[in-house]
Structure 1
Amino acid sequence: MEKRKNDWFGWIKALLIAVAVAYIVRTFFFIPIIVDGPSMLPTLKDRDQMIVNKFIYRVKEPERFDVVVFHASDKKDFIKRVIGLPGEHVSVEDNTLFIDQQPVEEPFLKEQKANMKPYQILTEDFTLEQLPGGYSQIPDGYVLVLGDNRGNSVDSRSIGLISMDQIVGRTSTIYWPIERMQVIGK
């Protein structure tokens, strides 16, 4: 009888430890997210399931072209790509991204640009001053984000700059569906 009681205690203890470890990992390190909508096509597809690294931005700052998840509202998280960093001026003219008046290649848009007709617009022209907030440069603690599907994305062009406090973490790993399993690049 005593052995049986010790076996149950051992199982309960193991289960509690497993639950505690899962809680700590999910709260502080990694969470799953499901892509909702077409705003990151062709990089990410609707219903792709990904892992979000919540810890990364506690030890380093976001980098240009990181794919991040952020709180767009109390009830909705968005997934977009970091384009502009603190202290920078961002604009787009004739489908070309400019950071501090210097053209910057966007390798993740290469295929889309190659398939465009000469008169097509991938990204409507804009300057940072025209976005909500009217900034002349991105303030400290903020980033400018855009979806890869520029014609169908609610991003900094309409909702303004994103505070670092809104960012949940960086994501780069698609784990489901199996045929799309990959680490996405910049």
Structure 2
Amino acid sequence: MSFLADTETKKKNEWLEWGKAIIIAIVIAFLLRTFIFATSIVQGESMDPTLENGERVIFNKLVYLLDEPERGDIVIIQRPTKNYVKRVIGLPGETIEIVNGELFINGEKYIQTFLTEEAKLQTNNFGPVTVPDEQYFVMGDNRAISKDSRNGLGLIQESEIIGKSEVIIYPLSEWERTQ
């Protein structure tokens, strides 16, 4: 009789251990999703060719609690009606100007390695505009159609930037870092 009781006790303990492990995994996943990583779906073509419509990216929510956005970062911007995915171009205190498709930051030409020549040529003249403290100037990589700091979105408050895009996770054929 004690052999059966020991076996039943072992089975109950095993189920309890599995139950604890599952609950801990769910709690950890919830904490990671809530405070550190989340996913976002790219809507539209404003970030082509870097990010395409329908791609799902993982973004890091923690990075900007510890640091500030840097030029070139692809960020998630939270607005009341929609989240946007854009690239940081101008930092607080900088003067941004676009002349004949060329980007100038504080009067110096900035080489945009992430843009195609066609995208540069489709970029209309803009500025100069000086970025105030705690704000950022952002643009999409598909400059001809992007709703960004030049038109529609305006300058972005630091508090509106909720994360940095890290990895494309869907479709699987596009699995790669976004930087």
TM > 0.5: yes
Match of 2:153 in 1: 159
SS of the aligned residue for 1:7 comes to helix
In structure 1, distance between residues paired with 2:166 and 2:140: 15
In structure 2, distance between residues paired with 1:184 and 1:171: 7
Amino acid at match of 2:97: S
Q: TM-score, normalised on structure 1? A: 0.85
In structure 2, distance between residues paired with 1:161 and 1:56: 21
Match of 2:87 among 73, 81, 87: 81
- Which structure has the larger Rg? 2
String of CA shifts for 1:3-34, please: whole Å, max 9, x gaps. Answer: 34333322221121111101111111111111
In structure 1, distance between residues paired with 2:172 and 2:55: 10
SS of the aligned residue for 1:156 comes to coil
**CA-CA distance at 1:128 after TM superposition:** 4.5
In structure 1, distance between residues paired with 2:158 and 2:58: 19
Match of 1:148 among 117, 120, 141: 141
Structure 1, unaligned runs of 5 or more: 130-136
In structure 1, distance between residues paired with 2:41 and 2:165: 11
User: Which runs of structure 2 are paired with 1:2-151 in the superposition (5 Å)?
Assistant: 2-71=9-78, 73-109=79-115, 112-113=116-117, 115=118, 121-129=121-129, 137-151=130-144
CA spacing shift, 1:33–1:4, aligned 2, 3 Å: same
SS of the aligned residue for 2:114 comes to helix
User: Is 1:184 aligned with 2:171?
Assistant: no
Match of 1:175 among 161, 166, 169: 169
**CA-CA distance at 1:42 after TM superposition:** 0.9
**CA-CA distance at 1:145 after TM superposition:** 0.4
**CA-CA distance at 1:172 after TM superposition:** 3.1
Structure 2, unaligned runs of 5 or more: 1-7
Aligned residues: percent identity?
A: 39
Q: Count the aligned residue pairs.
A: 171
RMSD: 1.7
Match of 1:132 in 2: none
Amino acid at match of 1:52: F
CA spacing shift, 1:75–1:5, aligned 2, 3 Å: farther
In structure 2, distance between residues paired with 1:67 and 1:128: 23
